[in-house]
Amino acid sequence: MADWYRTWYNVELDADTEILPLIGSKEGIVHICMTYLDQGDEVLIPDPGYPTYQSAVRLAGGTCRSYHLSEANHWFPDFESLEKTDLSKVKLMWVNYPHMPTGALPTTELFEQLVAFGKKNNILICHDNPYSFILNEHPMSLLSVDGAKDVVLELNSLSKAQNMAGWRVGLLCGAKERIAEVLTFKSNMDSGMFLPVQLAAAKALTLGKEWYEELNKEYSERREYVFSLLDKLKCSYDKGQSGLFVWARIPSTYDDGYAMSDDILKKAAVFITPGGIFGSEGKQYIRVSLCSKKEKLLDAAERIEEAFSSQGATVDLAG
């Protein structure tokens, strides 16, 4: 894991003390919250964002404070408006770039701002980074910013970039003091992974550029199918987005993403995720997964086209 971070992110980590292997990165989200939160502690949560951040904070007894992300601000936090609020009870901030569900990519400037924000306000920045290799040529780690280890914990995963979702392997990286704190909690929950799984993960992390190119070739072909499906549904979207999903704004003919999703489900028996499940800022959007094979995406597009043209479409599929 340390070699992988050095090779791809240019980040030096001590394999013995600065990395904690996890049974998938999802458990790490809960472990971090259980380690650091007491009743009344506040946590900044992205809206839209991965719903587990909110559940984990609540399970640990913390209080969620959503920070709003908008398309107009590239789905980046508005640090200025956050600093106008009382941050004295905020212990953690969850961030995730490339961002799920919007596919927004990070910039060096954003990462520097996050580290500066954490230092200035004494907030532990928890970066969830499972998508950096998917449809993105420049994987970045928040730990590559100078001095980041003082305020950053980063989660990573083998579920997406190494196709090992069912194997359950992730990792937590950061300063040795932070890793030791989380380990104090985690070592009371489980006793680590089956050795063959760890050896397979270590082997998978040695895969070279060709592996990621092959993986991304498949995802970019699937994405073309999804783009054309979204064109038929009159949605608008950013072609530069990354990650395993396509995030798209719905046409004004629907009240919100839930109404559009329900309509497509009822008429074509195809489920498209309404963006509202990721937070109120996602209401006017839908999210399509690239995890399905091309044949399935094509089948879905055909069923949608057929259902809407035969039943007096609320969506105009002519285009």
Ligand X SMILES: Cc1ncc(COP(=O)(O)O)c(C=O)c1O
Beta bridge partners of 156: 171
* 3-class secondary structure, 186: helix
159 binds ligand X (CB under 6 A): yes
Is 25 near ligand X (CB under 6 A)? yes
Candidate ranges 157-165, 187-195, 224-232, 311-319; the one touching ligand X (CB under 6 A): 157-165
In a 10 Å sphere around its CB, with 0-12 CB exposed, 13-18 middle and 19+ buried, how is residue 256 labelled? middle
CA distance linking residue 128 with residue 49, whole number of Å: 11
Q: In this complex, which beta carbon is closest to ligand X, that of residue 46 or of residue 118?
A: 46
Residue 247 is given by DSSP the state E
- Which stretch, 18-26, 132-140, 271-279, 307-315, contacts ligand X (CB under 6 A)? 18-26
Question: Which residues between 163 and 182 bind ligand X (CB under 6 A)?
Answer: 165, 170
Told to check if 273 binds ligand X by CB under 6 A, we report no
* 163 or 236: CB nearest ligand X: 163
Q: Interface with ligand X includes 204 (CB under 6 A)?
A: no
Please, what is the end-to-end C-alpha distance for the chain in angstroms?
48
- Site membership for ligand X, residue 300 (CB under 6 A): no
24 binds ligand X (CB under 6 A): yes
With beta carbons less than 8 A apart as the criterion, state whether 304 and 264 touch: yes
Q: Give the number of other CB atoms < 10 A from CB of residue 148.
A: 24
Residue 106 lies near ligand X (rule: CB under 6 A):
no
Q: Which of residues 43-102 bind ligand X (CB under 6 A)?
A: 50, 96, 100
Q: Is 157 in the site for ligand X (CB under 6 A)?
A: yes
Please report how close the Cβ of residue 245 comes to ligand X at its closest, in angstroms.
Answer: 9
Please identify, using beta-carbon distances, which residue of 265 and 291 lies nearer to ligand X: 291
Shortest Cβ distance from residue 156 to ligand X (Å)? Answer: 8
**Beta strand pairing status for 170-173 and 19-22?**
antiparallel
Beta bridge partners of residue 125, listed in sequence order? 93, 152
Nearer to ligand X, 23 or 87 (CB): 23
Nearer to ligand X, 87 or 243 (CB): 243
Residue of the chain from 130, 257, 274, 275 that contacts ligand X (CB under 6 A):
130
- Alpha-carbon distance 99 to 95, whole Å? 8
Give the 3-state DSSP-derived string for 93-145, with helices as H, strands as E and coil as C. EEECCCCCCCCCCCCHHHHHHHHHHHHHHCCEEEEECCCCCCCCCCCCCHHHC
Segment interacting with ligand X, rule: CB under 6 A, options 24-32, 74-82, 288-296, 302-310: 24-32
Rule CB under 6 A: is residue 128 a binding residue for ligand X?
yes
CA-to-CA separations, 95 to 106, 145, 291, in angstroms, rounded? 11, 15, 23
| Binding flag, residue 42, ligand X (CB under 6 A) | no
- Which spans of this chain sit near ligand X (rule: CB under 6 A)? 24-26, 50, 96, 100, 128, 130, 157, 159, 165, 170
